[in-house]
């Protein structure tokens, strides 16, 4: 993805009122740059703005701007008051941000939340180096497998034509993992097996593939962050308010993603697709084994912190 420079003016209250506190400060206007409102990430950004108005009326006026912050991390931290963006897109700058795209680390939502708890200090430290404060983490819809036939075992992947979906949000090495299991790389139009991350119930996919298998391949993350300079300028009460809004929004999103996934499974089934929510254990075991080189590669690239993080997480889930 080509990155472009985007400048969004910081709040006037921050630029003009730095030196003088008011006894009864007015609501502070803050722009939140995010993805389209038609996406889960855009919906999450609007939820943050709505929670700000509901939980702390009169403290902030948050305006969501549909303009994704495709910038270097440091530029995001300088260019806008608040930002919502896909974390793994910035893994080249901070390796730890690619963790949520590492395949087959979590086997469900509870484990994905455990992984987030283990990684949050590292995420926050990485963002702090680029002038940002982590306020909320949004879960994506876990990546799943579409296929023209039912996947009963890993042997079904040997010789199968495999493709990734056409979005730019696929993790590094995802296709290579299926190559280790004997799948043959193909273009989308020829694929018998397709890995789709964060998909919506698509009539196109439902026409082309007979089966959907939930493997919880990866649950990628979107971060909602605050400009650190702006955050530190705020009064202590308003800093605490922003943190509380982030916590409330994140908790809602992690509760609702479970409902969202059940709902889209039902929508896909209504289109005639056979939905498997409990794949055969040996099939999942094969995917986990094939993913280990990707886990080790991420840990090695991240340094000692990466290996410790993975070990601590796996110990926490009893792996």
Give the integer Cα–Cα distance in Å for 158 and 202: 26
How do beta strands 82-86 and 28-34 pair?
Answer: parallel
**DSSP designation for 62:** E
Asked if 81 contacts 12 with a C-beta cutoff of 8 angstroms, the reply is no
Give the integer Cα–Cα distance in Å for 86 and 302: 19
Cβ of 124: how many Cβ atoms within 10 Å?
14
Asked if 76 contacts 130 with a C-beta cutoff of 8 angstroms, the reply is yes
Give the integer Cα–Cα distance in Å for 46 and 65: 9
Give the integer Cα–Cα distance in Å for 55 and 267: 33
What domains are defined for the chain?
12-139+220-264 (3.40.190.170), 144-217+275-316 (3.40.190.170)
Give the integer Cα–Cα distance in Å for 265 and 284: 19
- What per-residue confidence (pLDDT) applies to 169? 75
- Per-residue confidence of the chain (319 residues) as pLDDT tens digits? 333 333 344 444 444 444 344 455 789 999 999 987 777 677 889 999 999 999 999 999 999 999 877 778 989 988 889 999 999 999 999 999 999 999 999 999 999 999 999 999 999 999 999 999 999 999 998 999 999 999 999 999 999 999 998 777 777 789 999 999 999 999 988 999 999 876 555 677 888 999 999 999 999 999 999 999 999 999 999 999 999 999 999 999 999 999 989 998 999 999 999 999 999 999 999 999 999 999 999 999 999 999 999 999 999 999 8
Residue 137 has φ and ψ, to the nearest 5°, of -125, 125
Q: Which of 108, 102, 112 is nearest to 216 (CA)?
A: 108
- What per-residue confidence (pLDDT) applies to 24? 55
How do beta strands 144-147 and 193-196 pair?
Answer: antiparallel
- What per-residue confidence (pLDDT) applies to 21? 40
Token couple for 180: 């280790």
- What per-residue confidence (pLDDT) applies to 201? 59
DSSP string, 104-144: TS-SSHHHHHHHHHHHHHHHHHHHHTTTEEEEEEEEPPPPE
Residue 214 region by backbone torsions, left for phi larger than 0, else alpha for psi between -120 and 50, else beta: beta
- What per-residue confidence (pLDDT) applies to 111? 97
Q: How many residues does the chain have?
A: 319
- What per-residue confidence (pLDDT) applies to 43? 81
Q: Which of 152, 186, 156, 172 is nearest to 218 (CA)?
A: 172
Cα angle 70-74-78, degrees, rounded to a multiple of 5: 90
* pTM of the full structure: 0.89
Give the integer Cα–Cα distance in Å for 197 and 89: 14
Q: How far apart are the first and last CA of the chain?
A: 35
């Amino acid at each position: 993805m080509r990155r472009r420079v985007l400048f969004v003016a910081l709040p006037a209250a921050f630029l003009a009122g730095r030196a003088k506190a008011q006894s009864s400060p007015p609501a502070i206007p803050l722009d939140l740059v995010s993805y389209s409102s038609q996406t889960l990430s855009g919906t999450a950004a609007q939820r943050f703005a709505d929670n700000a108005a509901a939980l702390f009326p009169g403290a902030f006026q948050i305006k969501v701007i549909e303009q994704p912050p495709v910038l270097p991390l440091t530029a995001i931290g300088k260019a806008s008051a608040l930002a919502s963006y896909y974390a793994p897109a910035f893994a080249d700058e901070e390796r730890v941000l690619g963790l949520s795209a590492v395949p087959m680390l979590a086997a469900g939502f509870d484990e994905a939340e455990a992984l987030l708890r283990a990684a949050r200090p590292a995420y926050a430290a990485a963002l702090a180096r680029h002038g940002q404060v982590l306020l909320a983490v949004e879960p994506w819809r876990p990546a799943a497998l579409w296929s023209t036939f039912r996947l009963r075992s890993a042997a079904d992947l040997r010789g199968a034509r495999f493709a990734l979906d056409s979005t730019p949000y696929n993790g590094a090495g995802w296709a290579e993992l299926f190559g280790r299991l004997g799948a043959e790389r193909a273009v989308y139009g020829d694929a018998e097996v397709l890995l789709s991350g964060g998909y919506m119930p698509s009539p196109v996919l439902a026409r082309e593939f007979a089966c959907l298998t939930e493997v919880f391949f990866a649950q990628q993350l979107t971060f909602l962050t605050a400009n650190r300079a702006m955050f530190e300028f705020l009064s202590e009460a308003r800093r605490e308010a922003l943190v509380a809004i982030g916590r409330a929004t994140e908790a809602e999103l992690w509760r609702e993603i479970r409902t969202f996934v059940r709902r889209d499974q039902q929508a896909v089934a209504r289109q005639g697709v056979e939905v498997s929510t409990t794949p055969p254990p040996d099939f999942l075991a094969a995917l986990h084994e094939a993913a280990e080189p990707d886990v080790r590669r991420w840990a090695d690239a991240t340094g000692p912190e990466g290996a410790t993080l993975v070990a601590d997480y796996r110990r926490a889930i009893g792996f």
